[in-house]
A and B are shown apart, each in its own frame.
Chain A
Amino acid sequence: MKKAKSNSIFRLAISVAVFFTSLSLRANPIELPERPVTPEIAFLLTTAILLEVGCVWFLLRRSRKPRFFVLWLIAMNLVTYPAFVGLLRLLDDLRPSLAVLIGEALVVIVEGAVIYLICRFASSQKSELPAPSVLKCWLASLVGNACSAATFPLMLAIYERFSP
């Protein structure tokens, strides 16, 4: 115990003697807080998904759809968005604009197909409305994705303008 105490005095004294004999350090470091990005990502994703869902719902409003169609679409997007980001990781050898274009094109194809399947299999058979064709589903997916992609920069600007 005694030894430990002496060692601590020693270190204290030595460090002070060394530092003070060269110069007095009066540093006052400033911490630069980093802005958290989670709320921003959450805002952008939510807005983009809701916009896309809104567009798809609007375009397919006169077609046969399941109950809670909006929830089906949201669930689908919760899978396709991470998949899209993962795909970008695979394509990051390409120029960014081309990689995003390919990624978006694949998302449109896959989402169109999934929407078609949802409308075919999950909808009520009693509905008098006609089931949407696969082309219509792809068109809806294309319009929905185009809307959300086009408004992404706008949403980003809005968030940056109004974020604290």
Chain B
Amino acid sequence: MNRSNTCAIILVASLVVLTGVALMISAREPHYGGRSLTSWLRQCSDTPLSESQRLEEAQNAIRAMPLDQVIPRLVRLVESAEDPVSPWIKDTSGKLKLDFLRWRLADERQQLGVAGFETLGTNAAPAAGALAKLLSDPKHAFVAVRCLAAVGKPAESALCQGLTNQDWRVRNWAVPALAEVTDDVEVYIARLKGRLTDSDAAVRFSTVQAIGAQENAPELAVPLLIDKLQDGDDGVASQAANALSSFGTNAMIAFPALTNLVHTGRQAQSRAAMKAIAAIAPAEAVPVLSSIITNGNAANLSAALRSLKSIAPELALQMAIAQLRSIEPRRRSQAVGVLGTYDMDTPRIGDALRSAATDPDAEVSRHASMTMKQMLRKQNENTGRDVQFHDEPSYDGKTLGEWLKMRHDGWELTTTAAAALRHMGTNAIPPLLARLAYKEPVFGLYDFDVSMEAVAGLLAMREQVKPALPVLATLMKSDDQDLAVRAMMATLGTEADAIPYVMLGLTNRFPDVRNEAASLLAGEWGARFPEQRKQVAPFLVKLLNDPDQHVRMNATNKLKELDPQAVIKAGIK
């Protein structure tokens, strides 16, 4: 054999080996639309439920492939086991940023199998036997039960086996999965009974949940749930009480047990029981809950008031307001929380919360202030409340309020609206100032939205706002930091005339106002008025000794930009 023949043989042999490997790899699994099963499974597994079209495309492709080829492949994926080298290879690829290598480890390949079985549903019935065998393998039992749940009815007996599996996750998964495949409620409850005494609380919880969902069989479910009220785990006992409440009056026999739990149970149990008695027997629950509110533990007050509110809202309101006079701050604070669940227009709520905001206990007072703000915000979001001001000027058939609503995405007025305000001239200033300092009537809080609309209006009027500058200066001295900032900002439209007022901000009582005034004067805005800005440096030097740390830090930075020599003189590095 001559040299060239030998070389040709070697080359051909290498190419044959290469082609053989390529063919072997591509022939391992079925294809659809030019893509392999694995590729479709990846799409199915990686696509979020929200992208329904892409998900459906992958699912249809998987269903279109021959089942006798797809199922064995899916079973092999589920059977995937990890070797010691693969995680290291994946980890190293990641470290070296070889992200185009989309390695999947055993658990990820198992997920592909699960995605496949979920897609095929009962069509994957032939796999039930193979999957059932995996239940006895601790490394594969959990993924197997997930696949069996997807297979559904044909896997019923395997799912029953899963109820007694050594892995709690398998038992936990089998409980709701069996509900899908068991036709008779009596049989279902009988199958599940044993799991009510499972050693794992999570399994007992899901069993109670599953039994609680059988609302059409109260005679079977309610007695079992009553027993679980005494479960050692709070979550399970509370879930039993919640489940009983879903039976309504059909769970009347549970009332004594629940009442007992209200008084003697642990905190979580008591709370759930209070909710349950209100749902099961409202009339009988009122005196029980009232007694808890008046004489019970402070820890249960909120739950009792909320449960009472669900059946007797007026009485609950009265009792919550009465609790604001309790000597215990914790009870007052809990009452505030419950009052916050009412509509803010409910009579007496405003007065009660305003009074709580002046509570001697700082925590109660803070809670009340926060609650009022939240209620106001919620009300504005829900109703899109439009505050009406009388005797406002109009232009071109629209009132000031209507022009102020004409904005871009944020607060900036449209060009037409800004021009309309300037046409109104000084007539618009008093109502804009009134809006800036507007307090809503229920809680007496400054209304952020109305106030911000006024800031937008005043800025749009530019130099026409000059006559209002003294009033804005007064508002900068108000007892509300937010209003002070907004008032200062409203001066900016007057350009250089605003400088003295912004400088006034440097000595404001609120740190955020001082901070912002410093930023404005030393920043881009102040740079437009170089002559006036010369006076700023001494004020900034004073801020270097400000009591607020953030103001000091900001002043240092701004002064470094504005007058580095002044910083050195002040002894700051």
Contact = CB atoms under 8 A, between A and B. Distances in A.
Interface in B1-58: 3, 6-7, 10-11, 13-14, 17-18, 21-22, 25, 36, 38-39
A116 B21 CA distance: 22
A13 B90 contact: no
Contacts of B462: 6
Categorize the interface residue count of chain A.
35 or more
What is the interface of chain B mostly: helix, strand, loop, or mixed?
helix
Interface stretch (B152-160, B258-266, B482-490): B482-490
Contacts of A106: 17-18, 21
Contacts of B550: 24, 26
A95 B106 contact: yes
Contacts of B116: none
B389 interface: no
Contacts of B397: none
A20 interface: yes
B301 to A, nearest CB: 31
Contacts of A89: 100-101
Contact of B80 (A10, A14, A95, A100): A95
A134 interface: yes
A24 B512 CA distance: 7
Contact of A109 (B17, B98, B524, B528): B17
Nearest to B24: A102
A5 B126 CA distance: 74
B411 interface: yes
A74 interface: no
Given A37-B96, A94-B25, A113-B14, A120 B83 contact: no
A11 B412 contact: yes
Contact of A16 (B105, B485, B495): B485
B516 interface: yes
Interface in B410-469: 410-412, 448, 452, 455-456, 459-460, 462
Interface string A7-27: 101111110111011001010
B489 A16 contact: yes
A59 interface: no
Interface string B106-124: 1001000000000000000
A24 B96 CA distance: 41
Given A20-B482, A113-B11, A117-B7, A10 B412 contact: yes
Contacts of B411: 14, 18
Contacts of A11: 412
Given A14-B410, A106-B17, A117-B7, A20 B90 contact: no
Shortest Cβ-Cβ A-B pairs, 9 listed: A21-B482, A96-B89, A96-B86, A13-B489, A97-B85, A17-B489, A93-B38, A20-B485, A97-B86
13 contacts: A10-B459, A18-B410, A18-B411, A24-B550, A26-B550, A89-B100, A96-B86, A96-B103, A96-B105, A99-B103, A106-B18, A117-B11, A120-B7
